[in-house]
Every structure is written in structure tokens, then in C-alpha cells.
Amino acid sequence: MAKMCNSCGTVVDDNFQNCPNCGAVVVAQQTATPNMQQPSYQQPAYQQAGVYPEQKSKMAAGLLGIFLGAWGIHNFYLGNTGRGVAQIIVSLVTCGIGSIWGLIEGIMILTGSIKTDANGIPLKD
């Protein structure tokens, strides 16, 4: 059985403690899964670059939540359509008592407890 160098990927004979290619110490337990790598989750290009094409406004989302949170408007704004619909239903069913849910979320947005929209894109100040 051969093992694989963690540094350069060279397949190293079991008899060697060090990689002949780069000199790194090769650990034997890597043998079983020579292709073991992190799951190849590809981040969207804009996240890799740290640039977001359409950041939504934290202030707008927060104010929408505080004033129109009963109707889930801030969640529609952020793309959380399902949650927005749920807030409308909760507000109707509870005769408006449940509208405090949206109000609280609006405050959480303004205080930074909610930092991203439905796509995980950070809200801009």
C-alpha cells in the first residue's frame, strides 16, 4: 500500500517517512482515502471575490419589519417568502397580536442579530 503526501499529493511508498518530492512527513493513516478532500462545495463567484451583486439595505429591511412586519414585508424584501407568508397568516389568525413577530425581526435586523438575506448575502449598512 502506498500513502499520499499531504503537501504535494505525491504517492509515497510505505517505506518512506518523508515525501521524496517535497520532503514533508507523510502520515500513514492517510492511506485509506488517497483522494480524501473537503467536499467540493463551490462557492458562488461573488462570495469567493467578497463582492456581492445585490446587497439589500439593513436600514430598509429593519424599518419594513418594524412598520410593516405584521405583513412580513421585510421578509419578502429579503427573499424569505415563506416566512413572510407565515407572518401574514399569523397576524390574521391572532387578530394582529402575532404581528409582534415581524416587529421583533425588524429590531433584530437593525441591531445586527439578523445579518443576511435569504441568499446569505450580508445586508449593507
CB of 24 to Zn ion, least distance (A): 5
CB of 23 to Zn ion, least distance (A): 7
CB of 39 to Zn ion, least distance (A): 23
Alpha helices in the chain (DSSP H): 45-48, 58-68, 73-78, 81-93, 100-111
Q: Could you give the angle at which helices 81-93 and 100-111 cross, rounded to 10 degrees?
A: 140
CB of 38 to Zn ion, least distance (A): 19
SS3 34: coil
Write the interaction track for Zn ion spanning residues 13-52; mark x where CB under 5 A is met and - where it is not. Answer: ------x-xx-x----------------------------
4 is a site residue for Zn ion (CB under 5 A) = no
φ, ψ (nearest 5 deg) of residue 115: -110, -15
7 is a site residue for Zn ion (CB under 5 A) = yes
CB-based contact 22:5 (threshold 8 Å): yes
Site residues (CB under 5 A) for Zn ion?
5, 7-8, 10, 19, 21-22, 24
